Amino acid sequence: MLQRAKRTLGMALALGAVAVVGSVSTAHAATDQAANTVRAVGGAPGYGPDSGLRLNANFVGIAALKSGGGYWAVASDGGVFARGDARFYGSTGGRKLNKPVVGMAGAPADDGYWLVASDGGVFAFGHVGFYGSLGNKKLNAPIVALASTPSGKGYWMLGADGGVFAFGDAGFYGSLGNKKLNAPVAAMGPTPSGLGYYLLGADGGVFTFGNAGFAGAAVDGKRATGITVIRAGAYQVARTDGSVAGFGGEPSIAATPDMGMNVHPVVGIAAHHGGRGSWLVRTYVPPPPPAPQVQDLSQDPFLRCTRAHESDSAGGYRAVSPGGVYRGAYQFLRSTWDNVARRLGRFDLVGVDPAAASPHDQDLLALALYHWQGPAPWGGRCAGLP
């Protein structure tokens, strides 16, 4: 998972999959009335939760009943919350997972669901089948989404690099795994027939495969996090600020002031299959620390020691390794930087060049990685420091 760099700037950071947000940010979520909630938009009925919950981990996804009478929301520890007519069939909330859960898909018969972890592990609950996983495979990028076929006899998994993996009766219609992308891939939505699918880039780009018809994209500077297909050729794209871009005749919805992009960004969307609007699931990101704490981060003993090994003599916060692969004061790979940013819920940092990021943001992500993985990503250096 980690490899020693063939350069003089220390250990490269090359982590595998991570969650969009983890339990590290739940401490104050219960006091925020918009945190870990589901917002009904466009006329969809509201089933909640509509106030802050005290959770072990934050919401990362949503799946709606085909009947339109409810939905499930899932947290990164695999906790499942059933609302409306949705039944609870089990969860991984009490299990120790190798990697966090990043999404879910509901069965077409509304009688079960699948959860997917960022390493491609799949967990089946209710009256659904298990059709395979990627939990024991080496992936080029973490898994970010799961989608069911119309029959419920298979599913697709989506990697952040646009790779698509088909299981059961799911057909493979192409992927972006070998393409140079402007932004990571964030979500997917199958067509109603299951003979194609849409892939959504985090920059709002929409890519079509199979019988998916292109009706437009949402590349307007906002961060895209979810796509839901309403009918053939019609879909909606959700953004972190709570706005929804509609295509193929579907309405667009403006964000409202209470959505709070920075503290409780939207991380997924599910259509009301009765034809009335959609549901947006919101997570929780703790507010930034006050200015004195921001200034003091760089003086953390572990960070000071790590910078001395990695970059102090090679450019500091703007250090770039020969060849340009390892970047910034802590020599992040771009993919690792993006993974840690997602884990913290700092979607504004995903896709940012680590060497161009502010010193505080580099310190913040490096410290988060240290508290998550210890000193191992840097070859065990500076072990024992607080």
Same domain membership, residue 256 and residue 362: no
Residue 84 counted as domain residue: yes
Residue 226 counted as domain residue: yes
Same domain membership, residue 254 and residue 233: yes
Residue 244 counted as domain residue: yes
Q: Are 56 and 77 in contact (CB under 8 A)?
A: yes
Same domain membership, residue 133 and residue 70: yes
Does the pLDDT of residue 321 top 50, yes or no? yes
Query: Number of folded domains in the chain?
Result: 2
Domain end position, chosen among 251, 282, 313? 282
pLDDT digits (tens, 9 = 90+) for 227-243: 999 999 999 999 988 99
- Residue range(s) defining the domain that contains residue 331: 291-378
Same domain membership, residue 76 and residue 175: yes
Domain end position, chosen among 232, 264, 282? 282
The mean per-residue pLDDT over the stretch 77-95 comes to: 94
Same domain membership, residue 333 and residue 222: no
Query: 68-98 burial string, b = 16+ CB within 10 Å, else e?
Result: bbbbbbbbbbbbbbbbbebeebebbbeeebe
Residue 385 counted as domain residue: no
Return the DSSP state at 333: -
Q: Cα–Cα distance between 186 and 266 in angstroms, integer?
A: 12
Q: With bands split at pLDDT 50, 70 and 90, how would you rate the model's confidence at 22?
A: very low
Residue 3 counted as domain residue: no
Same domain membership, residue 368 and residue 234: no
Single pTM value for the model:
0.74
Which CATH number goes with the domain that contains 317? 1.10.530
Same domain membership, residue 370 and residue 231: no
H-helix or E-strand containing 359? helix 359-373
Same domain membership, residue 141 and residue 240: yes
